[in-house]
């Protein structure tokens, strides 16, 4: 969260002293809390963050804190938010921005809290299978908090979501894998793939150099953690700063691979979009055309939770250690989950059908022109090249510019309605620009022949296409060849300008 050490210093202490769980449980009940935290029974006050007791057997020795807005209706959603190492429930409540949207969109918040009795640096033990497996340790304690909150606030058990930062994000990924029947969605902020580590040493490996597993291998870790026969999965948001040196950005790629594989979809984004704070949003749609996985990559952000202090509708949170002023991640996550209602959901697939008749009308060395059939109700169209949005058209035609010569590109188009919702994506077409981009190749004659840039006859070498003599066919005679057209090379030992 902005620095290379906490909140991921997670040396264990829970099992060093016998009976410490019993001591910590008793101490937590008697703890004098500040910042509006009050220990209460079943009827928690809506005035601020409150401690809730008696939520279950609590095998993970966690504390439960909750916030319920005034006039919370029955059947409202529930969001669970997990702090990072060295943090607390009150710290996360005060800085993350989630209370603002709980008030605005009317949902209850649960903020689990761990202590140094569990982990020396108050980290959730995401790397310990005894704490992150279904029905065990901290994972079960969090599940018991969900059950308590659903009962206490009348929450809709079909709309329970979980989010977390850093170690809390690692635990979030594991909770989504272990309890896909409990959580409809999750948000992993500066976190790691589910089941990435089962020991402290492996945790550091995951943080700094995550295993480069295949999507199927990552997906299998989720499927093996979930109840047998699970077919319904949570929708997952992944937030990552590109300058994070504590949990390196490669983790976001592995997370994307993991959850797109679980959903049975590919790793090429359906669409991309630029948001505020230097954020790039990549969306991966399920078979129905609805985003199942979203990756938010924040340029230049270090380790932490993305916040954007201010009174604007898209702003939230306060800056501080590991709360970084870029974009309000809580706002975008809430909209991704649909907590604001249908009218305000994050821009995404709307009800408009996919455009038909997409065709390439012309191509030059550096441009491709497209056309398609109009969609009723469309106010504009988004054009995608290889899954990335490259432009918006107000009509049914678009010209893409600045392309490389002699190169093939794939295009799709989607219609946008008056509310800004993007409809289904069209079938793809492939366009190839004209011309040829020269290339230079310096190698021994033997390698030139092996690569097809030259031919050999009678022990001598000749450039493919031009037939220019290149000397003996061996590895000791070196030439530079310039490819000036497909299958045509010339000797360019005096200088290659490509």
Tokens of residue 408, six digits = 């093939």
CA distance 314 to 340: 12
Active site residue 166: yes
Beta strands at 50-52 and 63-67: parallel, antiparallel or unpaired? antiparallel
CA 225 to chain centre: 20
Neighbours of 352 (CB within 10 A): 20
Beta strands at 235-241 and 291-298: parallel, antiparallel or unpaired? parallel
Active-site residue (options: 166, 282, 297, 329): 166
Beta strands at 38-40 and 50-52: parallel, antiparallel or unpaired? parallel
Q: Which residue has the tokens 């594989």?
A: 261
| 3-state per-residue secondary structure call for the chain | CCCCCCCCCCCECCCCCCCHHHHHHHHHHHCCCCCCCEEECCCCCCCCCEEECCCCCCCCCCEEEEECCCCCCCCCCEEEEECCCCCCHHHHHHHCCHHHHHHHHCCEEEEEECCCCCECCCCCCCCCHHHHCCCCHHHHHHHHHHHHHHHHHCCCCCCEEEEEECHHHHHHHHHHHHCCCCCCEEEEECCCCCCCCCCHHHHHHHHHCCCCCCHHHHHHHHHHHCCCCCCCCCEEEEEEECCCCCCCCHHHHHHHHHHHHHHCCCCCCCEEEEECCCEEEEEEECCCCCEEEEEEEECCCCCCEEEECCCCCCCECCCECCEEECCCHHHHHHHHCCCCCHHHCCCCECCCCCCCCCEEEEECCCCEEEECCCCCCCCEEEEEECCEEEEEECCCEEEECCCCCCCEEEEEEEEECCCCCEEEECCCEEEECCCCCCEEEEEEHHHHHHHCCEEEECCEEEECECCCEEEECCCCCEEEEEEEECCEEEECCCCCCC
Active site residues: 166
């Amino acid at each position: 969260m902005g620095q290379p050490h906490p909140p991921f210093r997670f040396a264990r202490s829970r099992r060093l002293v016998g009976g410490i769980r019993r001591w910590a449980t008793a101490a937590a009940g008697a703890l004098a809390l500040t910042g509006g935290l009050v220990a209460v029974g079943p009827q928690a006050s809506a005035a601020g963050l409150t401690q809730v007791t008696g939520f279950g057997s609590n095998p993970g020795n966690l504390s439960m804190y909750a916030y319920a807005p005034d006039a919370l209706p029955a059947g409202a959603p529930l969001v669970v938010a997990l702090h990072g190492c060295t943090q607390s429930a009150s710290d996360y409540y005060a800085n993350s921005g989630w209370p603002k949207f709980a008030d605005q969109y009317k949902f209850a918040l649960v903020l689990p809290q761990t202590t140094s009795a569990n982990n020396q640096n108050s980290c959730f033990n995401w790397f310990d299978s005894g704490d992150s497996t279904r029905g065990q340790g901290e994972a079960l304690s969090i599940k018991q908090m969900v059950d308590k909150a659903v009962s206490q606030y009348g929450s809709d058990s079909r709309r329970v979501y979980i989010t977390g930062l850093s170690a809390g994000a690692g635990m979030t990924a594991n909770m989504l894998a272990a309890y896909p029947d409990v959580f409809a969605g999750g948000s992993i902020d500066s976190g790691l793939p589910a089941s990435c580590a089962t020991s402290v040493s492996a945790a550091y490996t995951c943080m700094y150099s995550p295993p480069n597993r295949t999507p199927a291998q990552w997906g299998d870790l989720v499927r093996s953690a979930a109840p047998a026969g699970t077919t319904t999965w949570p929708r997952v948001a992944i937030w990552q700063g590109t300058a994070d040196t504590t949990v390196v950005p490669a983790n976001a790629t592995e997370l994307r691979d993991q959850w797109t594989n679980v959903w049975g979809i590919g790793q090429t984004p359906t669409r991309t979009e630029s948001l505020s704070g230097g954020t790039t949003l990549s969306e991966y749609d399920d078979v129905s055309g609805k985003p199942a996985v979203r990756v938010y990559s924040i340029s230049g952000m270090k380790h932490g939770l993305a916040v954007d202090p201010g009174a604007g509708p898209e702003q939230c949170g306060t800056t501080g250690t590991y709360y970084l002023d870029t974009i309000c991640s809580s706002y975008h996550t809430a909209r991704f989950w649909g907590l604001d209602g249908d009218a305000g959901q994050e821009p995404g697939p709307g009800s408009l059908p996919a455009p038909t008749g997409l065709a390439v009308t012309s191509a030059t060395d550096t441009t491709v022109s497209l056309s398609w059939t109009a969609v009723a109700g469309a106010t504009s169209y988004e054009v995608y090249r290889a899954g990335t949005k490259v432009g918006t058209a107000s009509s049914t035609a678009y010209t893409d510019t600045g392309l490389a010569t002699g190169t093939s590109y794939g295009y799709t188009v989607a219609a946008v309605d008056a509310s800004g919702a993007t409809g289904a994506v069209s079938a793809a077409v492939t366009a190839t620009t004209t011309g040829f981009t020269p290339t230079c190749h310096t190698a021994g004659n033997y390698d030139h022949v092996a690569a097809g840039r030259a031919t050999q006859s009678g022990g001598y070498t000749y450039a493919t296409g031009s037939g220019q003599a290149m000397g003996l066919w061996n590895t000791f005679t070196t030439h530079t060849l310039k490819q000036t057209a497909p299958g045509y090379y010339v000797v360019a030992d005096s200088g290659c300008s490509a």
